[in-house]
């Protein structure tokens, strides 16, 4: 029937309906669902809890030569919170409208990719013969807590003997949507620094001209940060060759301190979310040290997160066989790739740190970027096109012969 829904779309919508939403994700239901998916693709399956109650589901399709470095297809199961009053439809209802747009939290970030992996492998298995067999082992990891930085998910998993035995040579993970015909592939990512700067000063009565106050120091810190923010924005706007991942973004996200209007406080604090390109880590640290010194004595910095990862994956043609295999498969599918530094943060920071090639790739083009936004959606045709692409990419990587 022409109006029958594609089984892959149905599966995708069922996954969206599992409420793995922070801060209380339903990992139990999700794990049971994924164990069923593992059976469908004929994969070995294990559940690893590096932290109790936060399971990583790992599926394995052994290759003909399991001694060769394996392919890892990674996705995260948790999604960010929602504000239902701002949504057209239930954010966990997976409503599909007449245009084929599927609404739900995780449709772009990143339950789509996890299901695209699975549906591509189901298709290859059904085709049988050479299509259903791989030279290298293929692992699928469905990890928790990525939306909280991955500290209790992938960060712990890569330290386990289970992960070491997986012998990963290359990993695929999330990217984000593209509003054009091209698709983005990310070979590195900016480093998130969550900085709380504490400014101590002379307390006293609000009617006086006190010296060395916390407010004066705080103002200097804020002015320094925001001036650099404006500088980076102008640099991005002036150079068409730059993308968001090539510059440092700064946003003031917290202000703390004060007791009442007529009391000059002994301390005020300001928090910033800063995202730094891999090549700019040392330069920004020098700026931060200078700004704090210029603002006055006693200023200290506390970090909610301070990632210092410089590693990037080589995406130069002819220099990385994993990249050559990936890009050739995309070219075969008429996919135009745009290579970029990911502007936010993903679990691939933990993978690249181990020296493993990693590509961030969510095959969604001609699609508004709605990750973490209200009314997140993905069109079913775009979703199914992604399945087609992975059905070409996965064998290209898994059947790549040894080199060196």
Give kind and range of the element (H or E) at residue 392.
helix 380-398
Among 78, 101, 109, 174, which one carries the catalytic annotation? 78
pLDDT per residue as tens digits for the range 11-37: 999 999 999 999 999 999 999 999 999
144 shares its domain with 84 = yes
Per-residue pLDDT, 223: 98
Among 119, 146, 246, 347, which one carries the catalytic annotation? 146
Per-residue pLDDT, 109: 98
Residues in contact with 85: Cβ distance below 8 Å, sequence separation at least 6, in sequence order: none
Chain centroid to Cα 321, Å, comes to 24
Please answer whether residues 257 and 198 qualify as being in contact, where contact means their C-beta atoms are separated by less than 8 angstroms.
no
Please answer whether residues 356 and 71 qualify as being in contact, where contact means their C-beta atoms are separated by less than 8 angstroms.
no
Report the alpha-carbon distance of residue 138 to residue 220 in Å, rounded.
53
In a domain, 32, yes or no: yes
Q: Count of CB atoms within 10 A of residue 316's CB?
A: 10
Average pLDDT (130-144) is 93
pLDDT per residue as tens digits for the range 145-175: 999 999 999 999 999 999 999 999 999 999 9
Q: How confident is the model at residue 278 (pLDDT cuts 50, 70, 90)?
A: very high
Per-residue pLDDT, 383: 98
Q: How confident is the model at residue 52 (pLDDT cuts 50, 70, 90)?
A: very high
369 shares its domain with 258 = no
Last residue of a domain, one of 306, 340, 369: 306
pTM of the model: 0.92
Report the alpha-carbon distance of residue 63 to residue 375 in Å, rounded.
40
Q: Does 78 qualify as catalytic in the annotation?
A: yes
In a domain, 288, yes or no: yes
Report the alpha-carbon distance of residue 87 to residue 90 in Å, rounded.
7
* Confidence check: pLDDT of 371 > 60: yes
* Confidence check: pLDDT of 2 > 60: no
Q: How confident is the model at residue 129 (pLDDT cuts 50, 70, 90)?
A: confident
DSSP secondary structure string for all residues of 101-127: EEESTTTTTTHHHHHHHHHHHHHHHHH
Average pLDDT (226-253) is 97
Per-residue pLDDT, 190: 96
Last residue of a domain, one of 260, 290, 306: 306
Q: How far is CA 382 from CA 46, 179, 181, 388, in A?
A: 31, 12, 11, 10
32 shares its domain with 129 = yes
Q: What are the residues facing 300 on neighbouring strands? A: 198
Report the alpha-carbon distance of residue 46 to residue 78 in Å, rounded.
18
Tokens of 161: 């003997």
The 3-state secondary structure of 309-340, one letter per residue: CCCCCCCCCCCCHHHHHHHHHHHHCCCCEEEE
pLDDT per residue as tens digits for the range 169-193: 999 999 999 999 999 999 999 999 9
* Confidence check: pLDDT of 94 > 90: yes
Report the alpha-carbon distance of residue 189 to residue 344 in Å, rounded.
7
68 shares its domain with 133 = yes
Q: How far is CA 9 from CA 37, 43, 330, in A?
A: 14, 21, 22
Per-residue pLDDT, 131: 77
Please answer whether residues 29 and 104 qualify as being in contact, where contact means their C-beta atoms are separated by less than 8 angstroms.
no
Last residue of a domain, one of 306, 340, 362: 306
Per-residue pLDDT, 130: 76
Q: How far is CA 26 from CA 18, 45, 135, 375, 377, in A?
A: 7, 19, 36, 21, 21
* Residue range(s) defining the domain that contains residue 393: 7-189+312-398
Whole-number average pLDDT of the chain: 96
Per-residue pLDDT, 60: 98
Domain harbouring 247, CATH code: 3.30.70.360
In a domain, 403, yes or no: no
Average pLDDT (80-103) is 98
Q: Give the CA angle between residues 219, 220, 226 to the nearest 5°.
A: 85
pLDDT per residue as tens digits for the range 379-403: 999 999 999 999 999 999 999 999 9
Average pLDDT (303-325) is 96
- Per the structure, the count of domains in the chain is 2
Per-residue pLDDT, 221: 98
Domain harbouring 391, CATH code: 3.40.630.10
pLDDT per residue as tens digits for the range 336-356: 999 999 999 899 999 999 999
In a domain, 93, yes or no: yes
Q: Which of 102-106, 205-209, 304-308, 352-356 shows the lowest per-residue confidence on average (mean pLDDT)? A: 304-308
297 shares its domain with 365 = no
210 shares its domain with 248 = yes
62 shares its domain with 108 = yes
* Confidence check: pLDDT of 1 > 50: no
30 shares its domain with 162 = yes
Q: Give the CA angle between residues 310, 171, 324 to the nearest 5°.
A: 90
Please answer whether residues 215 and 204 qualify as being in contact, where contact means their C-beta atoms are separated by less than 8 angstroms.
no
């Amino acid at each position: 029937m022409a109006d029958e829904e594609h089984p892959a779309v149905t599966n995708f919508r069922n996954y969206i309906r599992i409420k793995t939403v922070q801060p209380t994700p339903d990992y139990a239901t999700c794990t049971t669902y994924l164990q069923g998916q593992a059976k469908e693709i004929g994969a070995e399956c294990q559940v690893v809890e590096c932290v109790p109650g936060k399971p990583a589901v790992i599926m394995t399709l052994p290759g003909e030569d399991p001694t060769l470095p394996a392919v890892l297809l990674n996705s995260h199961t948790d999604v960010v919170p929602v504000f239902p009053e701002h949504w057209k439809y239930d954010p966990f209802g997976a409503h599909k409208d007449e245009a084929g747009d599927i609404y739900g939290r995780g449709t772009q970030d990143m339950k789509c990719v996890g299901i695209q992996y699975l549906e591509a492998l189901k298709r290859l298995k059904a085709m049988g013969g050479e299509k259903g067999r791989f030279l290298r082992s293929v692992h699928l990891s469905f990890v928790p807590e990525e939306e909280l930085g991955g500290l209790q998910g992938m960060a712990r998993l890569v330290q386990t003997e289970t992960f070491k035995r997986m012998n990963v040579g290359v990993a695929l993970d999330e990217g984000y949507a593209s509003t054009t015909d091209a698709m983005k592939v990310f070979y590195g990512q900016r480093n998130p620094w969550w900085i709380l700067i504490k400014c101590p000063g002379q307390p006293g009565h609000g009617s006086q001209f006190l010296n060395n106050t916390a407010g004066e120091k705080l103002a200097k810190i804020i002015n320094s940060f925001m001036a650099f923010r404006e500088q980076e924005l102008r640099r991005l706007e002036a150079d068409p060759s730059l993308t968001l991942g090539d510059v440092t973004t700064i946003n003031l996200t917290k202000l703390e301190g004060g007791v009442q209007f007529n009391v000059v406080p002994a301390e005020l604090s300001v928090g910033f979310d800063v995202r730094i390109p891999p090549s700019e880590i040392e330069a920004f640290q020098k700026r931060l040290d200078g700004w704090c010194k210029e603002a006055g004595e006693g200023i200290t910095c506390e970090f909610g997160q301070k990632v210092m990862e410089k590693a990037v994956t080589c995406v130069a043609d002819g220099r990385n066989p994993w990249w050559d295999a990936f890009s050739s498969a995309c070219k075969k599918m008429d996919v135009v790739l745009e290579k970029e530094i990911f502007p936010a943060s993903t679990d691939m920071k933990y993978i690249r740190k181990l020296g493993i090639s990693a590509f961030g790739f969510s095959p969604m083009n001609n699609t508004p970027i709605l990750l973490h936004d209200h009314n997140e959606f993905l069109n079913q045709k775009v979703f199914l096109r992604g399945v087609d692409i992975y059905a070409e990419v996965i064998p290209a990587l898994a059947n790549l012969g040894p080199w060196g």
